[in-house]
Structure 1
Amino acid sequence: MNSKRHILKESSVQRVQSDPQREENCSGDEVTHPRKLNGSSVDPPSYHNLHRELLLSHKRGLLLEEKPELKRVLEQRRLDLHKEEEMARQRPSDLETELRKRQQKLQEIRRRESQQKIPEFVRVKDNLRRTQTSEQ
């Protein structure tokens, strides 16, 4: 039924294009274009076929502009690893070394503060466990 409707609409569009009375009434400067009927089925079937083919190729990842997601992720990981290797080869700058020292000091201070907050009997108990395991 749907294909029958499509054929009927196409034939009506072709009739509008080849109507001889319209061609006589129009001046030579004016170009008449057939009116589109409501609905997208009026578009030539080649448009539908191209659109369908484009959607299918996109689903399969056959488009040249866009790589499949897996390839993009692997390529990004490879680039990240390459950047990390380059950073590791370079000697750290003075600013970076100073920042690392400060960070280590802050971590040490936080660790001491957290140990001071722990009650003394818990610390003694942990020390006893360490000495017992080291003796055995």
Structure 2
Amino acid sequence: MLDLDAAEKQTTDRLCEEKPGYGNHKKETSVGRQRLARQSTADCSGDEGIRLRKLNGSSVEAPSYQNLHRELLLSHKRGLLLEEKPELKRVLEQRRLELHKEEEMAKRRPSDLETELRKRQQKMQEYEQEEIRQRENQQKIPEFVRVKDNLRRTQTSE
């Protein structure tokens, strides 16, 4: 009987050593060892095998996860993540802002300065278009006619 208890104890100790946290809470009394041995054989033995149970907040990846989370929070506080928006979102935001500005400009009445500047711009465009038309007309005229006109001008100017 003692040999069976000792054999069970050795196998359960070997199996339970793989589980973190087991073995630290065992009592030193022989009666306590037998009770724990029987309980641990019931816990450790079974068709399902050894189940490792994660304790809250004590995973292997916890320190790296905590460091990453801390770094993320710090960079968020500093505002470093604002630059890291996806390009598509940034472009869409810019377009939305531009459209909003254009709508506001269209809604409000133009000032006197703006109207005067637009009038001048229109006059300049008309003048440039007129010059372009004159050049095109001169290019359509045959060369001998242009030379003849130039000769007449030089004779009259002398």
The two structures have a TM-score, normalised by structure 2, of 0.36
